[in-house]
């Protein structure tokens, strides 16, 4: 498929740019299409079973000192999940103590990679990603706090969500294949066939994320919001601009039902 090759090339390019000096990030080609079901890996344990060979797991992934885009973390040790649990106490009210928030406005953090969490907290603190609540929450955190909290949430298990049956087909096609005619890349090229993301490249896990949060996030990018101005932060706004409201609703619902620990049938309601 011509399109998938283009997506793979773009992905490889981006991965190389972002991760040039990052030892933990192999520039991997877009993964082969997985079977057409929402549950991509029956029985897989998201914490120990890397979605893609060669991809660091949450357990072992560390951010090497001097990682580009993480200047503030240069002298920081890899996150300590035990220390992080105490530091995350203030976060539990909104994100859930185990990172599985119940209010769908607050993103789930369970299973999200340490690297991605650190980047977001750094961006909130710097005011690059703007949200009044989170800018306040991130302000007192040191880079070490961010790593410890990130390591704690990365170890938690995301609870599976469900997709809306009526939206699954459109969401799945866009997620897995994109839409060449409209210049929309396959989401799985970066976020993985089962939505586990790529910690080394700071591509977030999407698996089981609340549809409502995904929808709000894609809409805000569509409408011109950006989380900073580096190359990494420009990826999603340029993609979201090509999505219309129906695409966004379908993708959000499909992604909420996308998870690794279900049987063959897509999780739908
Ligand atoms: C009062 C509720 C509230 C509290 C307390 C809170 N958060 Fe948040 N958090 C949010 C909301 C709402 C968002 C979504 C912001 C947006 O839309 O940009 C968010 C987003 C995030 C994100 C980005 C997630 C993603 O998927 O991109 C991270 C990381 C995060 N919070 C970490 C924390 C940490 C760590 C703490 C504790 C120090 C914390 N939050 C405390 C409400 C809260
Ligand atoms: C070329 C790689 C790439 C592709 C393709 C891609 N994404 Fe992303 N996505 C990213 C990156 C990088 C981020 C994090 C942005 C940041 O940190 O500023 C992200 C973040 C997101 C987030 C926010 C997650 C969170 O927890 O806040 C959502 C939702 C998302 N992408 C959905 C999609 C969808 C839907 C598609 C397909 C239409 C897609 N992405 C295609 C790289 C990609």
C-alpha 38/C-alpha 257 separation (Å) is 7
User: Closest ligand 2 atom, CA of 107?
Assistant: 26
**pLDDT for residue 147 is more than 70:** yes
Predicted confidence at residue 184, as pLDDT, reads 98
**Tell me, what's the pLDDT at 17?**
41
Specify the pLDDT at position 260.
Answer: 52
Instruction: State how far the alpha carbon of 11 is from the alpha carbons of 188, 191, 225, 244, in Å.
Output: 10, 10, 22, 23
Q: Counting ligands in written order, which one lies closest to the CA of residue 145?
A: 1
> How far is CA 95 from each of CA 47, 133, 245, rounded to the nearest angstrom?
19, 12, 26
Tens of pLDDT along 253-268? 999 999 754 444 456 6
- Give the per-residue pLDDT at 259: 72
Asked if residues 73 and 118 have their Cβ atoms less than 8 Å apart, the reply is yes
d(CA 108, CA 92): 11
Percent of the chain past pLDDT 70, that is, above it, reads: 69
Cβ pair 197, 46 in contact under 8 A: no
Q: Is the predicted pLDDT of residue 220 greater than 70, yes or no?
A: yes
The more confidently predicted of residues 163 and 42 is 163
Whether 197 lines ligand 2, by a CB cut-off of 6 Å, is no
pLDDT digits (tens, 9 = 90+) for 69-82: 444 445 789 999 99
Residue with the bigger pLDDT between 219 and 47: it is: 219
What pLDDT, on a 0 to 100 scale, did the predictor assign at position 268?
63
Q: Nearest Cα to 44, choosing from 259, 265, 266?
A: 259
CA-to-CA separations, 219 to 47, 73, 160, 183, in angstroms, rounded: 30, 31, 23, 18
Asked if residue 39 has pLDDT above 90, the reply is no
Whether pLDDT at 29 is above 50: no
Whole-angstrom CA distances from 18 to 10, 21, 232, 260 are: 12, 8, 7, 27
Residues 5-28: tens digit of each pLDDT: 544 444 444 444 433 333 334 444
Is the distance from CB of 16 to CB of 243 less than 8 angstroms?
A: no
Distance 57 CA to ligand 2 centre (A): 19
Q: Rounded to the nearest whole angstrom, what is the distance from the C-alpha of residue 170 to the centroid of ligand 1?
A: 29
% of the chain exceeding 90 in pLDDT: 67
Give the residue whose CA is nearest to atom 28 of ligand 2: 214
Indicate the average pLDDT of the chain: 80
Among the residue ranges 129-138, 193-202, 260-269, the one predicted with the least confidence is: 260-269
Give the span between the Cα atoms of 133 and 124, in whole angstroms: 9
List pLDDT tens digits, range 227-244.
Answer: 999 999 999 999 999 999
Closest approach atom of ligand 2 to CA 10: 1
Of 162, 248, 172, 156, the C-alpha closest to 205 is 156
Read off the tokens for 40.
Answer: 């991509």
What separation in Å is there between the alpha carbon of 140 and the centre of ligand 2?
A: 27
Ligand 1 binding pocket includes 105 (Cβ within 6 Å):
yes
Say how far apart CA 133 and CA 183 lie, in whole Å.
34
d(CA 169, CA 174): 9
């Amino acid at each position: 498929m011509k399109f998938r090759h283009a997506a793979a090339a773009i992905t490889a390019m981006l991965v190389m740019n972002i991760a040039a000096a990052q030892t933990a990030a192999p520039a991997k080609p877009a993964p082969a299409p997985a079977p057409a079901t929402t549950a991509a890996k029956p029985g897989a344990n998201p914490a120990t079973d890397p979605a893609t060979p060669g991809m660091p797991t949450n357990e072992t992934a560390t951010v090497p000192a001097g990682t580009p885009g993480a200047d503030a973390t240069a002298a920081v040790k890899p996150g300590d999940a035990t220390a992080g649990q105490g530091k995350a106490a203030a976060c539990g009210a909104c994100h859930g103590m185990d990172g599985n928030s119940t209010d769908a406005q607050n993103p789930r953090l369970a299973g999200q990679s340490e690297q991605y969490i650190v980047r977001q907290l750094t961006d909130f603190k710097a005011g690059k990603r703007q949200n009044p609540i989170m800018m306040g929450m991130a302000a007192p955190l040191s880079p070490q706090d961010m790593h410890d909290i990130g390591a704690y949430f990365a170890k938690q298990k995301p609870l599976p969500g469900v997709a809306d049956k009526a939206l699954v087909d459109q969401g799945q096609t866009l997620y897995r294949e994109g839409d060449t005619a409209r210049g929309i890349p396959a989401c799985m090229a970066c976020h993985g066939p089962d939505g586990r993301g790529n910690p080394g490249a700071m591509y977030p896990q999407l698996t089981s994320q609340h549809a409502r949060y995904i929808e709000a996030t894609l809409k805000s990018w569509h409408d011109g919001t950006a989380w900073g101005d580096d190359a990494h932060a420009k990826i999603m706004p340029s993609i979201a601009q090509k999505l219309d409201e129906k695409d966004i609703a379908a993708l959000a619902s499909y992604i909420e039902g996308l998870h690794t620990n279900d049987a063959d049938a897509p999780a739908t309601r």
